[in-house]
Structure 1
Amino acid sequence: MIPETSASRTGYAESDMVDPNTVNFKLTGAVHYKLTSDLVASASANFGTGNTVYTGSDRYSLKGAKIAQYKLELHSKSWFIRGYTTQENAGEAYNATITARRLNEAWKPSTQWFPEYVAAFSQARLAGMAEAGAHNVARAFADNGRPAAGSQEFKNLFDQVRSSPIPVGGLFLDRSDLWMTEGQYNFKEIIPFVELIVGASWKQYVLDSKGTLFIDYDGPIKINEYGSYAQLTKKLFNEYLTLSASARYDKNDNFKGRFTPRASAVVKLAEDHNVRLSYQTAYRFPSTQQQYINLEIGGGQFLVGGLPWIHDASLPGGKTGPNLTSQNSIRLDHNAQPLGAYVPRELQPETVGSLEVGYKGLIAKKLLVDVYYYTGQYDNFIGRTLLAKQLSPQQTQIYSIVENAATMSATGGG
């Protein structure tokens, strides 16, 4: 009598859940003071706020979101040192999908709605009604008294849910900050026969979402990054050959240090005709969200950060053990076939090594030609794995876990 089919709660139109109008307001200002003929001090500020609808892993209403950046700097023709901070305030931003789900639950919990749906469906089928019609009758019965969009009851429930922090409602409480200091020195005044540039930086992320976006239930999470670099450039043979070499080292609190060298050569064949060759290595540490996110999105899916301790904290039963076996834990592939127990790997930064050769020339002072060929290999490309966790015979939870993919290559030209 009860078919093997899926039924879900009746949703609301997006236009009922978000303000589609976009408003953007910005302020910027700066003060520059010349301390000497070669030394300038400056202070600047940027502020922005507004409303918009944003699509990421879900649909988000950025209502009254604010961001501000403040910078102090000293610079001369040979060096600079600067420090700045970026301050975020989510305002009244909320997850529209989760808000709609929580609104339905606030009106009538699913533990009541689904039994009513099943009972009405069964009665309709016993009365001889076709299955499609029985579903319509069941939904109408279970939705009886549901607040209509635009009604006062709807507005009251909507305001209550969207202003309640996740996971009770849909509100984000993100007040995350970024602090950074960096400096650079060019030795051209001291070493005139070669251009040598060195620099260093320090960066600190302060994640503060009170558990509504990141897994920061116990207080703000601080992540430090340190970096230093050097670049050497030399022109030879009356500037017909320019050689450059650089190297950078970076360290993040959660990852091992990374060394990334680069080298390039530019050959001047004739006036306005150059050939270039370069080899570069680069890296990207996982973003703060890729490391620490812990967020429920539409469809009951959970986004989980890629750090090992977050797997332990977010996955029921942890990332290993009897709860994650080939019988109840699968990767979701194109054919959705069980692939055995999920074995998480240590999250690594993305890296790339690329080689490029190109030609740029101006023909007859009229035609500009710029052609190039490049090839690159990406290692530890950061993506996501879908993990199905059987919580009970009737309930399966889907987790979207940040994970490194296999090596990829890219080749192209233009």
Structure 2
Amino acid sequence: MIKKILLIAFIAFGSLAMVGQTTITGTVKDAKTGDTLPGANIKIYRKALGTTTDFDGNFVLNITDNPPFTLEISMLGFQMVKVEITKNNQKVEVSLVENETSLDEIVVSASRTPERIMESPVTVERMDSRAIKNTSAPSFYDGLENLKGVDVNTNSLTFKSVNTRGFATFANTRFMQLVDGMDNSSPALNFALGNLLGMSELDVNTVELLPGASSALYGANAFNGIMFMTSKSPFDDQGISISLKTGLTSQEAAGDNSYTDFSLRMAHAFSEKFAAKVTFSALDGTEWYATDYRNTSNGKYIAGDRNSDRNYDGLNVYGDEVSTNINGVAQTLESLGILPSGAAALVPSENISRTGYNERDLMTYNAESIKVGASLNYRPFGNDRLEIIWNSKLGIGNTIYQGLNRYNITNFLMQQHKLELRGKNFFVRGYLTSEDAGDSFDTRFAAININREWKDDNTWFGEYVGAYALGTLGGLTSDEAHAVARQTAESGRYEPGTPEFKAAFDKVTADPDLVTGSKFQDQTKLYHTDANYNFQDVVDWAEVQVGGSYRRYSLNSMGSIFTDYDGPIDYDEYGVYSQMQKKFLEEDRLKLTASLRYDKAQNFDGNFSPRISLAYAAGENKNQNFRASFQTGFRNPTTQDQYIGLNAGSAYLVGSAPDNLDRYSTPAITLSGVGQATTGSTTATIVGRAAYENAFSLASVLAGAPEVAETDLVKPEKVTAYEVGYRGIVNTGESNITIDLSAYYNSYEDFISSKNVIVPLYGQAGDNTLSLLALQNGDRAVFSAYTNSTADISSYGASIGLNTKVLNGFNLGLNYTYAKFDFDQSTDPDFEAGFNTPEHKFKLQFGKRDLFENFGFNINLRWQDEYLWESTFHDTVIEDRTVIDAQVNYSIPKWKSVVKLGGANLTGQEYFSAPGVGAIGSQYYISWTINN
């Protein structure tokens, strides 16, 4: 009902005829071809009054303003023209000159001030609304993968992780994503869940992406790169726009499944002072099924399956992680008189795992996303010199997140609310980010505890050992006895699809205690303010800016993720910065940019982040540009690095904030018979501090020569980055070739990592007595401690992009990216670097917007070679792949519509972006977009 009222109201306001005192008419054409340009913007300078050209390139503007005034006539991809209006009924004839190259487009992100991409002091990748309309990908967010140097890793259909320059993970805390100036990372997870709280495609104005460190201007976590998404202003882009996209996803495991993606944008300027907009997007589809059932051990694939390996642990099978040595169980049963004397000797010393459940039995695989946004914009003086903006965004949906385990994210809600005051030379804004995990759960613990719901571990293994021993005594071979033992222990198993399984599933996934349940519970909030002032009207010898930010986290997982058992954990961080930009030489060809930022977080020492760059513009039209930069970046440990306290099954995770170490303690762990005799207790409980002060290194224990782990508390990591680059235009006589190339070298210090350590359940590591006895008897616990690697790590790479027109107007783009890193494993044996980036990537784009009247097409091809993926979930080599996307489009100017037919991964060759995720199949779509 509310949507209908809003729609009627916006239509009514949009249809009100203005009683004009001044009428201006005109025509807008392409200066090169002479063709008229439909959709060109006609706007009074510095005001929100204007119109657009019709499908014949004509316009009529009725306004109450009296001449003289200035019209701005613009269109994306063309140079803006200003026309002086001196009288009523003036007729305007304008020809717009197309930008010579995309490098002529204006960006703001690189220096927090408008400048041509050509003259930017650092590498910038950009996608605007015109490129979005032309992308062959199913969405603009998918289309980012076609940009030079950009990687997009697919966790699920609705969760894509954007990354640049290596060290990619789905939990990508080294890459920042801003939407209208707001960090849209999950406050608890510290990384963006794709475009869950992003933008409707209809509302995207520009996307700017800075690869590499950007901490000097943007602070912590702008470490590997930062992406800026800006929306359209309701003053400048008015009207009602609609997009309907439908199609199907095709995967061998999941079959063919339909999906729909609907978007609506309504914007109106009610006067020169007040404007508003509302956006709505809804996506519904089916996730990529994850069906990799290969056997694993210690993060590697091994031979065998459930039929051949009695300790089988399938990658996308959960619950089979619960394993024990059955000889130890037999000894306990014999000591209790349950097994006859001597029976334990018949039971081999062999690890046996419980039978698990496949992921597809636990996941809903419903890909759903709803995004709602609204803004109220007020200009007190009737122009863009000062504007007050209230902006709210809400995203709710289902997706899949893969970290240490696989998480079914269901009804996950994130919202942001921002108040911003923006002027010609400054902005001040504050916003709140809040999340609610909804009905999300951990699939691994769901399977483990569904198993335990119908039969606890002690009973299951007891029945297994008893049946094995009796079978052996009865004359069965070992293999026959094992088969009978599993059949006996499995009696009463809840089979997927049965009422018993559903009841247990519902119970377990609603329980946040991981001892008995699997619910992912969180209501964390983030409060952020930042401000910037440019002294360009005060200081004339250089452009000087100053700014700062303050952020407060309020962790509130109710003790299910963090150690916030007694209430929310609050901590804060702040930063201040300054930048000076000075131009030298004739025609300002040499530009020096110097920045310095200081940041301080509550639990850590402060960090200085300097950046200095030089850019020189050569050539007659400043179209040969050379640049070099030096900068440092840093990343604060995440909320989880500091305050997590979680039993993840394979290890206990303990954050290393000083006030966190004693808040977390493990559940009671049963000691061996020797341990009980030694300590006089049947169980032991370990406090989190032990992971840092009483532990052995994992590598030394596996090698049989235990050594004390030296695990310092985590601190910020740093990067020192060097970059050189060139942007220019080469005239070949027939056409121009734009070239954009860069090379970089990064050196890392105190690289943040999690390190598995072994804590003895009694004794002090290094005492060579009790602690070694604990290891010998299995009285130990695996902890994952958050710390910094001592290893020397560096990365380097280069990229080049070429764009030109061939064959009388066809667009051809080629780019290549090289990425490599150096790491000496011997300097830190327990550390996994997780570079997770192909060494070579090649991308090609070919198309034409106007192949013939109203018809265009675009083709994108991407190739990358194989690479090693390392993560806490699994390690494996990702195979090389070639992916082809394509689209054809037809414009209907009379209806202000575009119909697009396209597909992604048209070859149908399925591929993995990481181990454990669903194989990515093909996606086909047809869309109808109106008035965009």
TM-score range, shorter chain: over 0.9
- Tell me the amino acid that sits aligned with residue 789 of structure 2: A
- Tell me the amino acid that sits aligned with residue 205 of structure 1: Y
- Tell me the amino acid that sits aligned with residue 448 of structure 2: R
In 2: Cα distance, 1:306 partner to 1:52 partner: 29
Compare relative contact order (CA 8 Å, sep 6+) and give the higher one, 1 or 2.
2
- Matched residue SS, 2:504: helix
- Matched residue SS, 2:366: coil
Farther-moved stretch of structure 1 (305-314 vs 210-219): 305-314
Q: After superposition, what is the alpha-carbon deviation per residue over 1:233-256, rounded to whole angstroms, capped at 9, x for unaligned? A: 000112121001000011110111
CA contact (8 A) 2:438 2:521 kept: yes
Q: Which runs of 4+ in 1 moved over 3 A?
A: 308-315, 317-321, 332-339
- Quote how far apart the aligned CAs of 1:214 are: 1.0
Match of 1:172 in 2: 520
Match of 1:80 in 2: 427
Classify 1:307/1:262 alpha carbon distance in 2 versus 1 (closer, same or farther; 3 Å). Answer: same
Match of 1:122 in 2: 469
- Tell me the amino acid that sits aligned with residue 643 of structure 2: Y
Match of 2:793 in 1: 408
- Tell me the amino acid that sits aligned with residue 728 of structure 2: G
The reply to whether residue 243 of structure 1 matches residue 592 of structure 2 is yes
In 1: Cα distance, 2:788 partner to 2:362 partner: 35
- Matched residue SS, 1:128: coil
State how 1:160-239 maps to structure 2 within 5 Å.
160-167=507-514, 168-238=516-586, 239=588
In 1: Cα distance, 2:566 partner to 2:490 partner: 39
- Matched residue SS, 1:346: coil
In 1: Cα distance, 2:597 partner to 2:519 partner: 40
Unaligned runs of 5+ in 2: 1-345, 666-685, 762-773, 800-932
In 1: Cα distance, 2:727 partner to 2:373 partner: 39
In 2: Cα distance, 1:337 partner to 1:308 partner: 32
- Matched residue SS, 1:188: coil
Given candidates 342, 353, 362, the residue that maps to 1:17 is 362
CA contact (8 A) 1:296 1:303 kept: yes
- Quote how far apart the aligned CAs of 1:411 are: 2.2
Q: After superposition, what is the alpha-carbon deviation per residue over 1:320-379, rounded to whole angstroms, capped at 9, x for unaligned? A: 59x936xxx332379645451123213110101111122222111612222322212100
- Tell me the amino acid that sits aligned with residue 301 of structure 1: A
Farther-moved stretch of structure 1 (74-83 vs 331-340): 331-340
State how 1:263-412 maps to structure 2 within 5 Å.
263-270=612-619, 271-298=622-649, 300-314=650-664, 316=686, 319=689, 324=694, 329-332=696-699, 336-364=703-731, 366-391=736-761, 393-406=777-790, 407-412=792-797
State how 1:45-84 maps to structure 2 within 5 Å.
45-84=392-431
- Quote how far apart the aligned CAs of 1:276 are: 0.8
The reply to whether residue 33 of structure 1 matches residue 378 of structure 2 is yes
- Quote how far apart the aligned CAs of 1:54 are: 1.9
- Quote how far apart the aligned CAs of 1:187 are: 0.4
- Matched residue SS, 1:125: helix
Q: After superposition, what is the alpha-carbon deviation per residue over 1:146-168, rounded to whole angstroms, capped at 9, x for unaligned? A: 22222112111111111011233
Flag the structure with higher strand content.
1
In 2: Cα distance, 1:375 partner to 1:147 partner: 55
In 2: Cα distance, 1:318 partner to 1:93 partner: 26
- Quote how far apart the aligned CAs of 1:122 are: 1.1
CA contact (8 A) 1:332 1:386 kept: no
In 2: Cα distance, 1:173 partner to 1:312 partner: 22
In 2: Cα distance, 1:19 partner to 1:395 partner: 38
- Quote how far apart the aligned CAs of 1:275 are: 1.4
Q: After superposition, what is the alpha-carbon deviation per residue over 1:266-321, rounded to whole angstroms, capped at 9, x for unaligned? A: 122323112111100111101111211122224x4222213244344446256459
TM-score, reference length from structure 2: 0.43
Q: After superposition, what is the alpha-carbon deviation per residue over 1:130-155, rounded to whole angstroms, capped at 9, x for unaligned? A: 32222221111111112222211211
Farther-moved stretch of structure 1 (399-408 vs 176-185): 399-408
In 1: Cα distance, 2:606 partner to 2:781 partner: 36
TM-score, reference length from structure 1: 0.94
- Tell me the amino acid that sits aligned with residue 263 of structure 1: I
- Matched residue SS, 1:255: coil
- Quote how far apart the aligned CAs of 1:264 are: 0.5
Match of 1:258 in 2: 607
In 1: Cα distance, 2:513 partner to 2:536 partner: 55
- Quote how far apart the aligned CAs of 1:395 are: 4.3
Farther-moved stretch of structure 1 (373-382 vs 125-134): 125-134
Classify 1:267/1:380 alpha carbon distance in 2 versus 1 (closer, same or farther; 3 Å). Answer: same
CA contact (8 A) 1:386 1:399 kept: yes
In 1: Cα distance, 2:371 partner to 2:434 partner: 15
In 2: Cα distance, 1:133 partner to 1:117 partner: 13
Classify 1:337/1:372 alpha carbon distance in 2 versus 1 (closer, same or farther; 3 Å). Answer: farther
In 1: Cα distance, 2:454 partner to 2:521 partner: 24
In 1: Cα distance, 2:690 partner to 2:431 partner: 42
Amino-acid identity (%): 36
- Tell me the amino acid that sits aligned with residue 361 of structure 1: G
- Tell me the amino acid that sits aligned with residue 608 of structure 2: F
In 2: Cα distance, 1:131 partner to 1:208 partner: 51
- Tell me the amino acid that sits aligned with residue 182 of structure 1: D
CA contact (8 A) 1:90 1:172 kept: yes
Match of 2:491 in 1: 144
Aligned residues: 410
CA contact (8 A) 1:231 1:246 kept: yes
- Matched residue SS, 1:120: helix
Unaligned runs of 5+ in 1: none
The reply to whether residue 91 of structure 1 matches residue 438 of structure 2 is yes
- Matched residue SS, 1:18: coil
CA contact (8 A) 2:513 2:560 kept: yes
In 2: Cα distance, 1:236 partner to 1:395 partner: 70
Classify 1:343/1:196 alpha carbon distance in 2 versus 1 (closer, same or farther; 3 Å). Answer: same
Match of 1:8 in 2: 353
Classify 1:395/1:197 alpha carbon distance in 2 versus 1 (closer, same or farther; 3 Å). Answer: same
**Structure exhibiting the larger radius of gyration computed from Cα positions:** 2
CA contact (8 A) 2:595 2:610 kept: yes
In 2: Cα distance, 1:330 partner to 1:338 partner: 10
- Tell me the amino acid that sits aligned with residue 48 of structure 1: G
Match of 1:112 in 2: 459
In 1: Cα distance, 2:568 partner to 2:630 partner: 40
* RMSD over equivalenced CA pairs, Å: 2.1
